[in-house]
Amino acid sequence: MDHRTLNKPQRIVIVGGGSAGWLSAAIIAADHQRGGVQVTVIESPDVAPIGVGEGTWPSMRDTLRRIGVRESDFLTACDAAFKQGSRFDGWVDGGPGDSYYHPFVLPQGFGETDLVAHWQSRHGEVPFADLVSFQPHLCAQGKAPKQASTPQFAAVANYGYHLDAGKFGAFLKTHCVEKLGVRFIADHVDGVRSDAAGDIASLSTREHGELAGDLFIDCTGVRSLLLGQHFGVPLVKQKHVLFNDTALAVQLPYPDADSPIASQTTATAQRAGWIWDIGLPTRRGVGHVYSSAHCSDADAETALRAYIDATSGGVDVRQPRKISFTPGYRERFWQRNCVAVGLSSGFIEPLEASALALVEMAAIAISDDLPADRATMDIIARRFNDSFTYRWERVIEFLKLHYVLSRRNDSDFWRDHREAASIPERLRELLQLWRHRAPSRSDFPRTGEVFPAASYQYILYGMRFDGAATLRGSDSADLADQYFREAATLTRRMLPALPDNRSLLAHIARHGLPSI
């Protein structure tokens, strides 16, 4: 009998470091270090991580707590700041006042009554997010999501992070090796050896010879050395849905040491894409993501430099770093005893910062359902593939929503995004339904949905979607107004009580945060 049918996978080999590799290692090692599982990370000294600035979702707080990291240590080591959502400038029509927020906090009273219908009928002159949530007002004032006395990872307002991805990978590496018993090998993988059944048996390395394992996690980035190259699992390309395939990225110094740190990612629409702007304690990360079919590199750089001039007061900028990518995801993510996590599993574009969130989801799913034996692995692989195909499709639809709803008419980029042939069928159907009612939890029935119905509401009504929610007799206008008043009351209380981001981060650097 094949010994692989008897033994629980004890040797987990992760190929590739960076945020995806080391985060996967940390989650699995933290969960299974007492169960005899040995996690090994092979990271090539010849391959540098992409290392541009990254945004996370609030889920990262739970993940960092899970792996035993102190929040104050993470914030300081990773040049990290607080993120409370996203602001979209110029996405509706590019005219005056074209700006709205997608905050991390759910609308006050979400699910208790139809907030959308009562907003439309009684308060339509107020931006939806500004009426139903206190968080846009915190972002507008540059406020932090907690106080100095708030324990680590706890929140007054829900938050994620902006961080330096290169420093984050290095921080996780140190934690994994020193605290979680992860074995680190600096070497280059030259080949893959399969066993008679077709599983990966071992990896051939330049300096360490053959490295055997039971489960291999491919974190080799867009090369997808194991899943894509060895197993030949193709990429399901999505450029016909979401056109962006290139980015120009720069790092900008602040004018002075006291410059405010933004509380949100700002996404500013351009003729053939959009520009991201994130604030870290020591610098800003700015980049233009665009469609090479609609815009030349030279024109994209001109637009990026114009944005920098307008927002940075003439800071001297080095040549931007060009990053090209093919939007899409793998046809399968788990093949035999190999599973891809991070860029090796796919990438769409940085809008709404789903990349690290999908890494978290994948690593947690692997760790929570670590196969008991080789036969069980095939069952888990099928379930994993179904779950993550669904999640990638939901990400694509949610990102497409931003473009479909735009009324911009200044370029083919925006007009082409509204062509029916480029819109996924499920999204077309939902938009038809939402012309008569607001998005609800019933539209997203799976446990662990990537984006909740509230996020769809924030985008739809921030983008001035012309659907009219039907008032039902069971929905109380008085109850809706009560929640609107609660959001306004919370805003009045929080604004004077919360520090600005830079003040709180400086305090944390000196004194840390209280333990829970």
Residue-wise pLDDT for 29-85, tens only, equals 999 988 889 999 999 988 776 655 589 999 999 999 999 999 999 999 999 999 999
Select from 3.50.50.60, 3.40.605.10, 3.20.20.80, 2.40.30.170 the CATH code of 3-81+161-235+328-393. Answer: 3.50.50.60
Return the pLDDT at 52: 59
Spot the catalytic one: 8, 83, 322, 400.
83
Q: CA Rg, the chain, in Å?
A: 23
Residue-wise pLDDT for 209-261, tens only, equals 999 999 999 999 999 999 999 999 999 999 999 999 999 999 999 989 999 99
Cα–Cα distances in angstroms (integers) from residue 348 to residues 31, 236, 240, 393, in the given order? 30, 11, 12, 11
Token pair of 278 as six digits: 């994130």
Instruction: Give the whole-angstrom CA distance, residue 25 versus residue 39.
Output: 7
Token pair of 61 as six digits: 């707080």
Instruction: Give the whole-angstrom CA distance, residue 348 versus residue 352.
Output: 11
Binding-site residues from annotation for FAD: 17-20, 189, 343
Q: What is the mean pLDDT of residues 383-410?
A: 98
Token pair of 376 as six digits: 């069980």
Q: What is the mean pLDDT of residues 440-453?
A: 92
Return the pLDDT at 1: 32
Return the pLDDT at 470: 75
Instruction: Give the whole-angstrom CA distance, residue 292 versus residue 351.
Output: 17
- Give yes or no for residue 495 having a pLDDT over 60: yes
Residue ranges per structural domain of the chain: 3-81+161-235+328-393, 85-139+241-326+396-492
Return the pLDDT at 53: 55
Give me the residue label for tokens 């985008």: 459
Q: Quick check: 330 and 388 in contact, CB under 8 A?
A: no
Please give the DSSP secondary-structure letter assigned to residue 108.
T
- Give yes or no for residue 6 having a pLDDT over 60: no
In terms of DSSP bridges, do strands 338-340 and 215-218 run parallel, antiparallel, or are they unpaired? parallel
Return the pLDDT at 50: 66
What stretches of 369-476 show up as alpha helix (H) in DSSP?
A: 374-404, 412-417, 425-434, 453-462
- Give yes or no for residue 4 having a pLDDT over 70: no
Same fold, 3-81+161-235+328-393 and 85-139+241-326+396-492: yes
| Bridge partners (DSSP) listed for residue 184 | 41
**83 annotated active-site:** yes
Give me the residue label for tokens 């090479």: 292
Instruction: Give the whole-angstrom CA distance, residue 393 versus residue 327.
Output: 12
Please give the DSSP secondary-structure letter assigned to residue 143.
B
Q: What is the mean pLDDT of residues 170-195?
A: 97
Q: What is the mean pLDDT of residues 319-347?
A: 97
Q: What is the mean pLDDT of residues 140-161?
A: 98
402 against 47, higher pLDDT: 402
Question: Which phi and psi (to 5°) does residue 54 adopt?
Answer: -130, 150
Instruction: Give the whole-angstrom CA distance, residue 264 versus residue 197.
Output: 50
- Give yes or no for residue 516 having a pLDDT over 90: no
Q: Quick check: 99 and 86 in contact, CB under 8 A?
A: no
Return the pLDDT at 297: 98
Give me the residue label for tokens 């979680």: 180
Name the average pLDDT for the chain.
94
- Give yes or no for residue 508 having a pLDDT over 60: yes
- Give yes or no for residue 469 having a pLDDT over 90: no
Residue-wise pLDDT for 334-392, tens only, equals 999 999 999 999 999 999 999 999 999 999 999 999 999 999 999 999 999 999 999 99
Task: Please give the class, per CATH, of domain 85-139+241-326+396-492.
Answer: alpha beta
Residue-wise pLDDT for 106-150, tens only, equals 999 999 999 999 999 999 999 999 999 999 999 999 999 999 999
Q: What is the mean pLDDT of residues 499-510?
A: 98
Instruction: Give the whole-angstrom CA distance, residue 417 versus residue 244.
Output: 11
Distance linking the first and last C-alpha atoms of the chain? 51
Give, for 163, the enclosing helix (H) or strand (E): strand 160-164
Closest CA to 325 of 282, 283, 291, 361: 291
Percent of the chain residues past pLDDT 70, beyond the cut: 97
Binding-site residues from annotation for 7-chloro-L-tryptophan: 83
